[in-house]
Structure 1
Amino acid sequence: MAAARWTNRGRGTASLVWTGLRSNHTSIKSRYDAVIIGGGHNGLVAAAYLQKGGVKTAVLERRHLLGGAAVSEEIVPGFRFSRCSYLLSLLRPHIYRELELKKHGLKVYMRNPHSFTPMLEDGVKGAPPRSLTLGTDLTNNQNEIVKFSKKDAEAYPEFVAHLETLANAIHPLLDAPPVDIPGLTAGSLRKRLAAATTLMPLVKFGLKLGKNIPDFYEITSAPIMKILNLWFESEPLKATLATDGVIGAMTSPNNPGSGYVLLHHVMGELEKEKGAWGYVEGGMGGVSQAIAKAARSYGVDIFTEKHVEQILVGPDGAAKGVALKDGTEIHSEVVLSNATPYVTFKKLTPQGALSQQFMKAVDQIDYTSPVTKINVAIDKLPNFLASPTPDDKPGPHHQCSIHLNCESVDVLETAYKDAVNGRPSARPMMEMTIPSVLDPTLAPTGCHVVSLFTQFTPYLIEGREWTEQDREAFADTVFDWVEQYAPGFKKSVVARDVLCPPDLERIFGLTGGNIFHGSMSLDQLYLARPLPPVSNYRSPIKGLYLCGSGCHPGGGVMGSPGWNAALTAISDLKSR
């Protein structure tokens, strides 16, 4: 079991307590129809749909708790953290409904407003520094934006409608595998006709876009700043919107492709509210627990602390099951891997089972990550200079994503350049969330849990591995900046958990620390995710499938990769 890293900041005794949904009491069998490697949310979704389709399925999770990156962990007694993934929006509505996740315990706290960007500036005539708060009410949003630009306030509603049009058009592509190019070009007429059905989602996508096809092409290929500069002039608004173009990605707002990252983050839906993000009660592990409960209700066997060491490949070149680290073999008709493509093909697949050319292509997949996640236990709510809240009472801005060091695009660009040059950012971009403001189950009365999703930090610091001193120094830098926006924050810290890119890789299996299981760049999307030969979830090894975020449509707690992979495997099993 991987050890967690936390630092006690002098407020009582911090100890480590693990929580989460563990194995059921069923004994593991020697044979299943399907075995899934990894109990992340996509693997659990795949298991549920496989079992619903009549395929006897087992899930094997390496860690002591389920969820992959969507987990809740009690790092400090009484404080429950969404230790890696921390917000919900992208989970596909049909999966939410069909698996009856509400019935299985999923509860979501909606946030309004959505974002708060405080400025570092002196107030005028005793007034607080300015800030930008955005939420569901367009009139309120315009009243906020007009503080910086009347022109931007007038343009904002049209911009939001424009983004919604593009985001809504992409939905048919999320709920289906990419176009089956090998099938369309096969010699058999029957195969070509069958493959032709995979064109329908693309046709629906095109019809939905209509005259907006050029706009979609532009936003997916352009730097996000090219788009934002066409619409707006004020720095705080542009920088706040630009954060969604770079979050989780080692890219600059001025780099091509950052526009698609923004689109990916606004195409979600929560409780029928487009583009909304919310907190899961009890932390993000609540999503995984609900999916696991649904899967078990259909008959899936789920096991933790079952470390898969190798995928078994028979003499015929087909997957035959898996071998665990303790030597146990579990045989199956198909194997679905919720691990990253790199882990699946480089670490779990027997050497020699895949061609050298394919393995060379696997080595080229980009897993660069800019993220260091810092989880913080505090005994007092942050009091922001830009929106003071006396008596430790939460204001509306405490419940949303608080963007720090995001008042100008130049600040984001400088932070990115630091990491490109091999150094953690001296003035990092930060997204702070305080879910305990809405969810009282997460912390003791009067206390709170804070998530700091920070960028930009490299995987290696000037070519060398991170040390404990590096982690603490970067966390100190982050806390020093938070202190400038909310004096007294550092004194409120009870303990902190610092996870740099190598830690995210080690603990959660995220190659390179990349939260999306691979960059969401144009060369790694749709027909090329993760690679052109395996974009339809099938690997070169018959019976071995990918079902994680490394395949289409990509990262986020979405469930689509697991759903699409399960339907693909069921179809193949029926045709045998």
Structure 2
Amino acid sequence: MSLKLLNGISLLKIQTLKSAFRTFCVASTTYSKDVLKEDYDAVIIGGGHNGLVTAAYLQKNGLKTLVLERRHLIGGAAVTEEIIPGFKFSRASYVLSLLRPQIYKDLELKKHGLKVYLREQFAFTPVLDGKNSYLLLGNDKEETFNQIAKFSEKDAKAYFRYEKMISKIAESIEPLLDNPPVDIPRLTKGTFKQKLRTLPSIKALFSLGVKLSDDISSFYELITSPTTKILDHWFESEPLKATLATDAVIGAMLSPTTPGSGYVLLHHVMGEIEGIKGAWGYPEGGMGAVSGSIAKAALSYGATILTEQTVEKILLKSDGSSAGVRLKDGTEIKSRLVFSNATPKVTFCDLVPRSGLSQEFFDEINKIDYTSPVTKINVAVDRLPNFTAIPNNSDGSPSPHHSCTIHLNCESMQYIDEAYNEALQGEIPTRPMIEMVIPSSCDPTIAPPGSHVISLFTQYTPYTLKDGKEWDDTMRNNYADKIFDVIEQYAPGFKSSVVGRDILTPPDLERIFGLTGGNIFHGAMSLDQLYLARPSYRSPIAGLYLCGSGGHPGGGVMGAPGKNAAMTALQDMK
């Protein structure tokens, strides 16, 4: 059978562990049984990037720490996997920006091998109507002005004012990311020491208020309004509005017309790389390099990281506090503290004994919205896509637009809204929204010479299809074929360039990566599930902490939940 005919599930069956293990699995799966008989200060369930950040900070502060990862490689959703020989895919998360600068500095990630290729251009939106055939946004202000002016000179003049406004709000919110939410019970009813320890969080809130004193109305509108209202206020050209709107809905079961979708837009402009605000880039070797560098930092401090170790249950003492974990093979590991990098639902509904939680808490956990709109398709190609809007160089070398996030079916916000509404009915959208990135256009280490790796982040796809149908190989391939047909309209010849593909629907993302509902954020990033409304790092069980994206400030490869959880536990031990 031709490799081109194999879908993602079939490819996984022929993938060898040797190939997968080459990709940033810095820990060994071989260990002495004595390692697991030892008592630990902290055991971390899950070796995703947040769990690894937690491990690094705990071990750096003197706690004997063990990380247990279910899969054969570390990284959670931030992994690199060589699914097709010679092609290394950032299989789930696919671009870097949100990793918190303090973590980058504290853990010396550059020293531990993290290298990032920055993108000079950041958005490319080709248009099929033949007029003003594309929009290209980048760091060159004059060129960006000219690009927008092709569609609207008014928008070109407004764009930089808009960028200044949204960047100021994002910068003002940043201190909230690096601190736990204000602990209201401890602030109002805690001991004097506990009240004192809430001061950094209160200071972060106060700082937000001071910095936004002149922009409170803009901030309020941004976090409560539909994205359409915000963008319609600023702009008139649909390609620009639709391109910007993708940041408000990417990874979220939201439409640009959903109230509060503006916050997700803000969430995606909070990042920086090596001091450059708002920069996005590709880690050399794929997203697994991020997890790998964090793991190397943790190992350098003395942490233990083991793969292929499935935690079956969190153990409790007679007083209801955590005592450690039990593995699937029956091995019990004692630990003073337990951290879960799994989703809140997996942690409290699957791993914690039901007797350890109140019915009220259990009900609250079950109310969390994990709806996901995402199907991720990883594609190996033997040449670069050749977009009609900007033809390729004669030598086949990458052009600036190849390094961008490429937005397809994004000529209009209405297209995005229609796709969302069709998915709500369990249907595959007529015009799926597609974000394409080609990391090999910057990073030559992840594909054979002349060939490339492509990530397609597509929406909106329902978890369960209409009439209760479930995803099977036929449905996966039909959907991928539909996506490829769309790409072919913009870049003729794309389909004939495909060497192989890996198709991950919401149920696949859940099964492989443990993402409940396939939700990449460990829970929706809607206003009713942010800050104080997001599960606390501290759980009702003494000694058990959440350290994954299910806690504040949510999803994205930022590491903040991992660091904040570690610092919260260290504070509790004082």
TM (normalized to structure 2)?
Answer: 0.95
Aligned partner of 1:382: which letter? P
Distance in 2 between residues matched to 1:119 and 1:541, nearest whole Å: 54
- 1:9 corresponds to 2:4: yes
State the 1:196 CA deviation: 4.1
Q: What do the CA deviations read for 1:254-308 (whole angstroms, capped 9, x no partner)?
A: 1111100000000100121111110010100000000000000000000000100
Distance in 1 between residues matched to 2:515 and 2:110, nearest whole Å: 28
Task: Indicate the larger mover: 460-469 or 276-285.
Answer: 460-469
Q: What do the CA deviations read for 1:236-267 (whole angstroms, capped 9, x no partner)?
A: 00000000000000010011111000000001
Q: What do the CA deviations read for 1:517-543 (whole angstroms, capped 9, x no partner)?
A: 00000000000113xxxx2x1000000
Aligned to 1:3: none
Cα pair 1:309 1:325 within 8 Å, conserved:
yes
After TM superposition, the structure 1 = structure 2 runs for residues 67-82 of structure 1, keeping only pairs within 5 Å, are 67-82=75-90
1:225 to 219, 224, 228: 228
State the 1:424 CA deviation: 1.9
Distance in 1 between residues matched to 2:281 and 2:2, nearest whole Å: 28
State the 1:22 CA deviation: 4.3
Aligned to 2:264: 261
Aligned to 1:330: 333
Distance in 2 between residues matched to 1:105 and 1:275, nearest whole Å: 22
State the 1:334 CA deviation: 0.5
After TM superposition, the structure 1 = structure 2 runs for residues 278-289 of structure 1, keeping only pairs within 5 Å, are 278-289=281-292
After TM superposition, the structure 1 = structure 2 runs for residues 531-550 of structure 1, keeping only pairs within 5 Å, are 535=536, 537-550=537-550
Aligned to 1:377, what secondary structure does the other structure show? strand
Distance in 2 between residues matched to 1:459 and 1:333, nearest whole Å: 38
Task: Indicate the larger mover: 388-397 or 19-28.
Answer: 19-28
Q: Residues 33 and 362 (structure 1 numbering): CA distance in 2 closer, same or farther, change over 3 Å?
A: same
Distance in 2 between residues matched to 1:192 and 1:282, nearest whole Å: 45
Aligned partner of 1:446: which letter? G
Aligned to 1:553, what secondary structure does the other structure show? coil
Aligned to 2:254, what secondary structure does the other structure show? coil
State the 1:465 CA deviation: 1.5
Aligned to 2:105: 97
Q: What do the CA deviations read for 1:408-452 (whole angstroms, capped 9, x no partner)?
A: 011111111110111121210000001111111111111101000
Q: What do the CA deviations read for 1:502-531 (whole angstroms, capped 9, x no partner)?
A: 00000000000000000000000000113x
Aligned to 1:191: 194
Q: How many residues align?
A: 558
Cα pair 1:22 1:304 within 8 Å, conserved:
no
Aligned to 1:208: 211
- 1:473 corresponds to 2:481: no
2:240 to 215, 237, 242: 237
TM (normalized to structure 1)?
Answer: 0.95
Aligned to 1:149: 152
Q: What do the CA deviations read for 1:200-251 (whole angstroms, capped 9, x no partner)?
A: 1111121121211221111011111111111000000000000000000001
After TM superposition, the structure 1 = structure 2 runs for residues 512-527 of structure 1, keeping only pairs within 5 Å, are 512-527=517-532
Aligned to 2:274: 271
After TM superposition, the structure 1 = structure 2 runs for residues 552-563 of structure 1, keeping only pairs within 5 Å, are 552-563=552-563
Cα pair 2:26 2:295 within 8 Å, conserved:
no
Distance in 1 between residues matched to 2:27 and 2:193, nearest whole Å: 44
Distance in 2 between residues matched to 1:323 and 1:539, nearest whole Å: 19
Aligned partner of 1:549: which letter? S
1:29 to 27, 36, 42: 36
Aligned to 2:424: 420
Aligned to 1:170, what secondary structure does the other structure show? helix
State the 1:7 CA deviation: 8.6
Percent identity (aligned): 62
Task: Indicate the larger mover: 313-322 or 208-217.
Answer: 208-217
Q: What do the CA deviations read for 1:125-165 (whole angstroms, capped 9, x no partner)?
A: xxxx6100001122211100000001000111111100110
State the 1:112 CA deviation: 1.2
Aligned to 1:370: 373
Q: What do the CA deviations read for 1:26-55 (whole angstroms, capped 9, x no partner)?
A: 642321000000000000000000011111
Q: List runs of 5+ in structure 1 lacking aligned partners.
A: 1-5, 124-128
Distance in 1 between residues matched to 2:502 and 2:549, nearest whole Å: 25
Distance in 2 between residues matched to 1:122 and 1:206, nearest whole Å: 47
Aligned to 2:500: 495
Provide runs of 4+ in structure 1 moved above 6 Å. none
Aligned partner of 1:429: which letter? M
Q: Residues 302 and 7 (structure 1 numbering): CA distance in 2 closer, same or farther, change over 3 Å?
A: farther
Aligned partner of 2:175: which letter? P
Q: List runs of 5+ in structure 2 lacking aligned partners.
A: none
Cα pair 1:26 1:301 within 8 Å, conserved:
no
Cα pair 2:26 2:296 within 8 Å, conserved:
no
Q: Residues 437 and 196 (structure 1 numbering): CA distance in 2 closer, same or farther, change over 3 Å?
A: closer
Distance in 1 between residues matched to 2:515 and 2:200, nearest whole Å: 34
Distance in 2 between residues matched to 1:88 and 1:66, nearest whole Å: 17
Cα pair 1:7 1:497 within 8 Å, conserved:
no
Distance in 1 between residues matched to 2:78 and 2:193, nearest whole Å: 41
Aligned partner of 1:542: which letter? A
Distance in 1 between residues matched to 2:262 and 2:297, nearest whole Å: 36
CA RMSD of aligned residues (A): 1.5
Aligned to 1:126: none
2:49 to 29, 38, 41: 41
Task: Indicate the larger mover: 423-432 or 245-254.
Answer: 423-432
Aligned to 2:568: 568
Distance in 2 between residues matched to 1:7 and 1:102, nearest whole Å: 41
Aligned to 1:176: 179
Distance in 2 between residues matched to 1:458 and 1:195, nearest whole Å: 41
Distance in 1 between residues matched to 2:559 and 2:418, nearest whole Å: 35
Cα pair 1:33 1:57 within 8 Å, conserved:
yes
Aligned to 1:83: 91
Distance in 2 between residues matched to 1:314 and 1:187, nearest whole Å: 24
Cα pair 1:22 1:64 within 8 Å, conserved:
no
Cα pair 1:113 1:397 within 8 Å, conserved:
yes
Aligned partner of 1:273: which letter? I
Q: Residues 187 and 42 (structure 1 numbering): CA distance in 2 closer, same or farther, change over 3 Å?
A: closer
2:407 to 388, 403, 408: 403
Aligned to 1:91, what secondary structure does the other structure show? coil
Aligned to 2:115: 107
Aligned partner of 1:348: which letter? L
Aligned to 1:266, what secondary structure does the other structure show? coil
Aligned to 1:394: 398
- 1:310 corresponds to 2:316: no
State the 1:390 CA deviation: 4.1
Aligned partner of 1:402: which letter? I
Q: What do the CA deviations read for 1:152-207 (whole angstroms, capped 9, x no partner)?
A: 00111111100110000011101100001001110644433443443111111211
Distance in 2 between residues matched to 1:426 and 1:187, nearest whole Å: 55
